[in-house]
Chain A
Amino acid sequence: MSGGGEGALLSVGGLAKRFGGLAALDGVSFELGAGEMVALIGPNGAGKTTCFNLLNGQLRADAGSARLKGRELLGLAPHAIWRLGVGRTFQIPATFASMSVRENLQVALLSRARRLGALVAPAGEAFRDQADALLARVGLLAEAGRNCGVLSHGDLKRVELAVALVGEPELLLMDEPTAGAAPGERFRLMELVEVIVAERAIGVLFTEHDMDVVFGHARRVLVLDRGRLIAEGAPEAVRADPRVRAIYLGAAAGRG
């Protein structure tokens, strides 16, 4: 099953976004099923991050629809979309730099419990065990007391994953989850994601520049070029697609 049909977790149709004269996303449609890992690839500037920003409400779409189990996401604020079960990690890690790793998770856990409005009770002890359990899961327990502002890039990516899991998402959007990590680290991180996805039947949409990671972990690959989906299918089929080859050979020099 390739995520199609009635039971799709996420179905995106005609998604479009312009920045001034530039069509960053130009009528993109695809579907994604529960428990499925799908890679969104394409050269720099293809519109991958923009696609994520539209799906989690960071940016407002010009046209199109994006339904999570039938529920329209477009038009909602990011915090509302998160409550519907969409987790997100960022291309440039976004964590709370003045807080410890554990506190980053505690804030997310407090948010899920809708307890951030509490004015007097100290937050330091709240959900400590749950936070530590999640940190253990992503292999960061040893760093729990350290400040996010001083963490390495690879560790920050793990914090991002742990934080995104707090919401018990049904859909996980991961923007270049392994960028900046060492090669061995990349596979370990993606294997971890794969295990979690299998456990909880989460749907994952991820972007990735490392083709070995893409072909090693994606069940299906979507290829984006200048805002349009130009190919879609199983990794092997996509790899053989001449249009994809043309883009990747042509764009190889432009990658930063």
Chain B
Amino acid sequence: MLDFLVVQFLTGLAGACSLFLVAAGLSLIFGVTRVVNFAHGALYMLGAYFAYALIARLGAGPLGFWAGLALAALAVGALGAGLEATLLRRLYGSPELFQLLATFGVALIAEDAVLWLFGPEELVGPRAPGLGGSVRLLGHQLPEYDLFLLALGPAVLGLLWLMLHRTRFGVLVRAATEDRDMVGALGVDQAWLFTAVFAIGAALAGLGGALAIPRSAAHAAMDVEVIVEAFVVVVVGGMGSVLGAFLAAVLIAELHAFGIVLFPDLTLVLVFLVMAVVLVLRPQGLLGRAEGIAREGPAERASLAPPRRGIGPGWAALALLLLGAPLLLGEYHLGVLTEILIFALFAASLHFLVGIGGLVSFGHAAYFGLGAYAAALAAKALGWGLGPALLLAPAAALVGGLVLGWFCVRLSGIYLAMLTLAFAQILFAVAFQWSALTGGDNGILGVWPPAWAAGGARFYYLALALVAAALFLLRRIVFAPFGYALRAARDSALRAEAIGIDVIRWRWLAFALAGGFAGLAGGLYAFFKGSVFPAALGVPISLDGLVMLLLGGVGTLSGPLLGALAYKLLQIGIATATDFWRLYLGLVIVGLVLAFPHGLGGFLAGLGGHRRGAPGRGG
């Protein structure tokens, strides 16, 4: 038994190596530039593919293999430098959300680039020359390559430590990590420092990917897998701490190594639970530095004019158009419009958190999915009618928001975003693995509305009525005292607390409310599609919502609605025109972020001439 534990532990340590390399790069980049690089997983993936291609060129002999790995890492490092110099450099002053979306766009582009260049099949890399065998240890076989990785992780950690503590460059990196303003004060050429750090971080990711190919095949979804895990590692270890990244990588890899033996179905849940526990007990991560009083960073602010009385001509025309749509549109296009309505509500609920509350959630799909599953289970397992099922959907999501939000609101900024992502992933894993209840991968099928609401036009009117009512209510809440309290806490938590506003409590309620509205959207979606799958809780849905906010801008209440419209049309338009929809979507996102670094909505508001002098640059 003990032998087995030791061997399993060593296997875990070997698995930690690639994860550590990726996370260390991510952490270094975040420490210096304060950018959370979503494209880091893509850089890892490119490292794997580059290594595969280079070794195929150079030959799988010792020289070809090792040179291939090194060149792949260098190439990815150069790519990272290019990425920093052309894209991220323009976004350092932008809100966090924009930086994330820009790097997310890059990740989308990279995914399709890989599909286009290397095809969709998995590529199994060559074995490492001289390390292809295995050694016997305590009666078990241990691959030699695992032993090599096991030694490499600490070696890289040591080299990074030397770089950070024994070189002038390292001193600058650490100074910048601890206090960004200080570097400016020292008169260091910041641009050069940032590019160099990005290059090193990217090269580490590339090396991690290249080192992975002898162990597991390269494929076009490996970026998402690794980025989520790397986020967990960086957050658990503490943003900006390389040693923390190492410890956390070991912790996570060991959880996998032992979890797979003890709870084979629950490893994902286990990993995210550990992260949630660490974040709640030690919000700055194991070795992260506690931030003092929060610095109030740049954020795109919804500077809302109080509502005018009556309905403007624009809204009246829109209402007429929406009411008459079934007369004008065929079945297919009416379906598209229904989906747009549902996602407009989803985007508006996310906007309530992000734009009004200043709480950037990366896991809003959690509530969408909770609503969808609640409605589907009510209809199928409990035999409830459409009405009660559509009541249960927001109720379940609201309760979910109360439970998960209670933890989330204790954190802020990027840590909050990561915890929301973690919770959504936990729910995703539960939906995926608890097949007795949720049908697992097969989902829940046959969730159709009764005859009175079935069919394109009827369901469309149902969705229109519910979405319009929900949006109206949401709008009232924004302009009610509660909405002001949220905006107050977002603008200045210090001031809000100093005038008696219990910031945490209001944010908690905001989570619940936003969850409830997202849950209604999810419930409608379940009946619209007639089925629910775990994807309703997945990262892509959360990101869709964020991209909608990006497209519409968070500065106005109509922004998310416009964003949902634009995004869905883009998605459908691109998907019908090309197989490489991710590529084009990514290009659109990157282009938009570059063209309007403060949001499309802010730009349009600027054109319209803002009477109230919206704060912030570029408005």
Contacts and interface: CB of A to CB of B under 8 A. Distances in A.
Contact of A79 (B477, B481, B500): B500
Interface stretch (A113-121, A182-190, A208-216): A113-121
Interface residues of B, number: 41
Nearest to A90: B494
Contact of A111 (B480, B494, B500): B500
A78 B294 CA distance: 14
A138 to B, nearest CB: 16
Contact of A90 (B304, B306, B484, B495): B495
Most interface-central of A77, A88, A110, A167 (chain B CB within 10 A) = A110
Interface in A90-117: 90, 94-100, 103, 106-108, 110-112, 115-117
B506 interface: yes
B435 interface: no
B485 interface: yes
Given A96-B488, A99-B487, A107 B482 contact: no
B616 interface: yes
Given A96-B487, A97-B491, A120-B476, A149 B500 contact: no
Interface in A171-219: none
B479 interface: yes
B476 to A, nearest CB: 5
Interface string B231-253: 00000000000000000000000
B492 A119 contact: no
Interface string A67-87: 000000000011100110001
Contacts of B503: 79
Contacts, number: 142
A111 B500 CA distance: 6
Interface string B460-490: 0000000000000100110111111101101
B303 interface: yes
B204 to A, nearest CB: 30
**Interface size range of chain A in the complex:** 35 or more
A163 interface: yes
Interface in A133-173: 146-150, 163-164, 166-167
B91 to A, nearest CB: 21
Contacts of B496: 96
A28 interface: no
B391 interface: no
B484 A116 contact: yes
B293 A53 contact: yes
Nearest to B487: A98
B477 to A, nearest CB: 5
A79 B485 CA distance: 13
Contacts of B302: 98
A250 interface: no
Contacts of A90: 494-495, 498
Interface of A: 19, 53, 56-59, 77-79, 82-83, 87-88, 90, 94-100, 103, 106-108, 110-112, 115-124, 126, 146-150, 163-164, 166-167
Interface of B: 292-293, 296, 301-304, 306-307, 473, 476-477, 479-485, 487-488, 490-492, 494-503, 506, 509, 612-616
Given A117-B509, A149-B301, 13 more contacts: A56-B498, A79-B502, A83-B500, A90-B498, A98-B487, A98-B490, A99-B487, A111-B485, A111-B500, A124-B306, A146-B612, A163-B495, A167-B499
16 contacts: A78-B497, A79-B497, A79-B498, A79-B500, A98-B302, A98-B303, A98-B491, A98-B615, A99-B487, A112-B499, A123-B479, A123-B483, A149-B301, A150-B613, A163-B499, A167-B500
